[in-house]
Structure 1
């Protein structure tokens, strides 16, 4: 669903968090309560898709960030119990009822969000008319053990072992959980509730979880609802970039919710709605505003204004890395934006189309990463920065695919004065490559795949149809062929495809050098993207000398995603330096870049 088929949206703020309200006109609204932490990162895009489909039924829908997650005000480690989550859910229901025609609410919860929805429905029987529980954790202690095991697995994949800080029970993908919250979750037992909801329940358990399945069956039997299996859970939670929408599960949710709706036609979108104030959150050194922008207000971002702005600082635009929502891996985007504000630097972080909260553009591609239309979205973000008073020159930073957009966006928009590209994997996209395949296999080396050939668990996935061995072999064969082509590229004078791409990369860098665009290429030590420097600049990167505007910076002891705190601190210093670079040059008597 794209464009005019979608209900208009309104940013909202409440209970120290933010959300998006889909303004369909029905009198039964839906509040979507996301899971905790890493699961919320993986599910963000899918829950936006579900929200759009529910609003197409005529339901106003509110999705919001859990406390300590996404763009919420609090840090994750500061959430010391379930009370902030319960307050946020109650405020979300109130915001939905106050801001739309809705008089009743259906709650949809995933993971920990399902547990919160069940508890809220029991304590608020007057307003909750239906309950959808997706993968509800039957017992908190079991759920925590699963979370800890997954944290270790993600650490092995990324090369950054989970390292909880003081007062933290665990970290998963850099996201902390406090010991106090873990203690309360450990005591959570949905199989022995204080009461039962007074509304019908659709409850879908994860496959192979007996206790979860028994809970769902019991709730459905007690409320005249339905129970079943959430077959798409594993594919939904693979990782933020590889996450797949659980189509069959969502189809069941939509069908079930539709049966709860009155027969009468829905009122026009926004009819009877009260207009809430601007969606702003204020911290000690910043004020953040959730914004819609771009064609048909498809794109979503957060303008972070410092309380004491430095008039010489350039605003910074933060880009998505892969499928990670704008809050960033390990919430690094939020952390960076608010740290910049302490230094007086404004920033804007946003989701490109069909990532996170941003809807797909009409006629947009199925796979948005590395698409040729992305620079236009970056330009729209720069337009918003100007409208917010940020001036007409900006710094752009991003990791991986975001680094690619930052560098190539600077070619398309002369307002970009400085680029901080982190762990860049491609200077230019080779049109012969399949984007989806590269995203699946691009960061694994041939030796890593060789080790997987002797991994019993990987073979079980192959035999179960959950892995694609032919795709892996095809990817390795293409890599071997291209590796030879890359070695010869400088001497083929454009006669081979990669040779033409090689010369275009150097033409692009020359154009940026002529414009005086400063470029910092930041790499984690050992990152696969470093091979690009060997390919385009030769042994010892000697050909970089032709581009005095390009600087290389290395971050030690860091993974591709910059999970460790020290790695993100090192990046922060680079970005602050870029934002203040022109002021430093002027102070030294140099002229700013043309």
Structure 2
């Protein structure tokens, strides 16, 4: 599987984050640059791209995975008018990084829109020996059309007063959307470059792709069942390990046999944003706890006290998402909060994002003993006193926030789009929540009704409506159903300040679970927490306007709890210093 190193790279005033995979012996036959897709496809295919990097390391090749400007953990604004040119510059910078590792032989792989960006950036990349167009989108117009159609079908429309173009989990400026629409793959850029065209049969038969294949002198690879990878109907994507092995074999087969020592010049810290008064916001890549959980720490611009008592927020990821798509919100919140003297850490649990190798078996469960361990390990590894720590996350991340808050008695917890209100999980519930879990795009990680007990689906609505509330609450304590009072009361007893932030969709679920009744009961016992409900928004935070509501409410809750309610310095454009 090789060794993975994480590093900032590129210009000091616009740093990008890369993950460099190096063969175990530190010697390499060449380097491969992996260009990811955009939008939801970037999120769904993330671990598959990592699997390819690991396969290449096994074959003696170095790989560079990276986040485009304004995406993932890289600096930049996702809705910058210059976003498309910045993405292309990211490809050029990643290729330069691969060459700086000592490689003379360079391969560039682009998946979906990543193939389009790679092809249009190729003239600026210097000598490239091989290219893989992996299920390519041939034009920016078709890429944007697909992204916008998916958004409209799953999320509807946004406030027309905001001119940005919405895609799943992100937003583009009108200028960037126009620039993307002008991009097109030109076969002439691949002249004298060894090329593979890996396509789905249905796409291969289209006139545009047939014309490209005819114009290229290339090898071809048919992709089988690829839609479950790039457009899964479940919470997790089916990684096409067979196709990935074939791509890795093709790249390795055309690479030199001689090896060179891999040269690494790692940057573990970079300035990723600048506040209005010119103060830099720094971030560092770290490993947390005994199981080396990948993490990014955002350092406060100023601190309210010593380093041992620095206000800190720990962000929990959602389902199989980490820092891409809706969870880019955690990145943006971290940088905004730093301007108010609040540090933060975001991390990947085992089997998600950049923690752990990619398993060819089933992905990690949403809720498991391993994830329980990771949650506590991450929190305790921060070196932060519980009284200086706020934990927050969305859906499953919200449940893990409550889990840590109850065990460590943190200063506060912000529960975002919470749906699992039990303080413990029955084994049967853990099994119910193992993948695959059907979900529409943007559905988050909702609890399914277990197929093995369909009677429950008929009994639960009756019980919810007709059972006396004490009996309903007892079912919640037993983990049979979800009763908001159970966790709210536990947090009250633990002395943890609570803010619950709910989209319109999740507030309706809260009320259906008799949350209003439970809230009145805990308030009579002294509960002083807040329930903040939006008028729009979906559970997974893919909808733009709902995500902006979450951003405002999470920010207000954190600053209020830390006594920093005045917006001292808001981040602007993101120049920085390495």
**Closer, same or farther in 2 for the Cα pair 1:427/1:215, shift >3 Å?**
farther
Contact kept in structure 2, 1:316 and 1:397, CA below 8 Å: yes
Q: What are the within-5 Å matches in structure 2 for residues 460-479 of structure 1?
A: 477-479=455-457
* Shift in Å, 1:132: 1.2
Does 2:250 match 1:249?
no
Q: Give the 3-state SS of the residue equivalent to 1:78 in structure 2.
A: coil
Q: What are the within-5 Å matches in structure 2 for residues 55-74 of structure 1?
A: 55-74=57-76
* Shift in Å, 1:203: 1.1
Instruction: Tell me the residue number matched to 2:94.
Output: 92
Contact kept in structure 2, 1:441 and 1:472, CA below 8 Å: no
* Shift in Å, 1:298: 4.1
Instruction: Tell me the residue number matched to 2:264.
Output: 274
**2: CA distance, partners of 1:533 / 1:144:** 37
Instruction: Tell me the residue number matched to 1:9.
Output: 5
Q: Deviations over 1:55-103 (max 9, x none)?
A: 22222111111122112211122142643222211211221222x3432
**Closer, same or farther in 2 for the Cα pair 1:305/1:144, shift >3 Å?**
same
- Match for 1:559 among 524, 528, 538? 538
- Match for 2:433 among 406, 414, 435? 435
Q: Give the 3-state SS of the residue equivalent to 1:277 in structure 2.
A: coil
Does 2:241 match 1:284?
no
- Match for 2:54 among 52, 55, 58? 52
TM-score by length of 2: 0.81
**2: CA distance, partners of 1:241 / 1:304:** 28
Instruction: Tell me the residue number matched to 1:331.
Output: 328
Instruction: Tell me the residue number matched to 2:548.
Output: 568
Contact kept in structure 1, 2:318 and 2:327, CA below 8 Å: no
Instruction: Tell me the residue number matched to 2:110.
Output: 109
Q: What are the within-5 Å matches in structure 2 for residues 63-462 of structure 1?
A: 63-80=65-82, 82-98=84-100, 100-121=101-122, 124=125, 126=127, 128-156=128-156, 161-162=157-158, 168=164, 170-190=165-185, 192-209=186-203, 210-215=206-211, 217-218=213-214, 222-223=217-218, 225-229=219-223, 231-238=225-232, 241-263=235-257, 271-285=261-275, 286-294=280-288, 298-311=292-305, 314-327=311-324, 329=326, 331-359=328-356, 366-386=363-383, 393-414=388-409, 416-428=410-422, 429-433=425-429, 434-436=432-434, 439-440=437-438
**Closer, same or farther in 2 for the Cα pair 1:8/1:582, shift >3 Å?**
closer
- In the alignment of these two chains, the number of paired residues is 539
Q: Give the 3-state SS of the residue equivalent to 1:243 in structure 2.
A: coil
* Shift in Å, 1:232: 1.0
Contact kept in structure 2, 1:353 and 1:368, CA below 8 Å: no
Q: Deviations over 1:383-417 (max 9, x none)?
A: 4532xx78873100111111010011223334x22
Gaps of 5+ in 2: 566-578
Q: Deviations over 1:103-137 (max 9, x none)?
A: 222111112211232344456563x2221111222
* Shift in Å, 1:371: 1.6
Contact kept in structure 2, 1:441 and 1:475, CA below 8 Å: no
Instruction: Tell me the residue number matched to 2:458.
Output: 480
**2: CA distance, partners of 1:196 / 1:489:** 69
Instruction: Tell me the residue number matched to 2:21.
Output: 22
Gaps of 5+ in 1: 446-469, 586-594
Contact kept in structure 2, 1:516 and 1:549, CA below 8 Å: no
* Shift in Å, 1:580: 4.3
Q: Tell me: higher relative CO, structure 1 or 2? Use CA pairs within 8 A at least 6 residues apart.
A: 2
Q: Give the RMSD, CA atoms, in angstroms.
A: 3.9
Contact kept in structure 2, 1:398 and 1:406, CA below 8 Å: yes
- Which is further off, 40-49 or 534-543? 534-543
Q: Give the 3-state SS of the residue equivalent to 2:47 in structure 1.
A: helix
TM-score by length of 1: 0.79
**2: CA distance, partners of 1:109 / 1:338:** 29
- Which is further off, 428-437 or 51-60? 428-437
**1: CA distance, partners of 2:211 / 2:455:** 48
* Shift in Å, 1:250: 1.4
**Closer, same or farther in 2 for the Cα pair 1:222/1:520, shift >3 Å?**
same
**2: CA distance, partners of 1:341 / 1:492:** 42
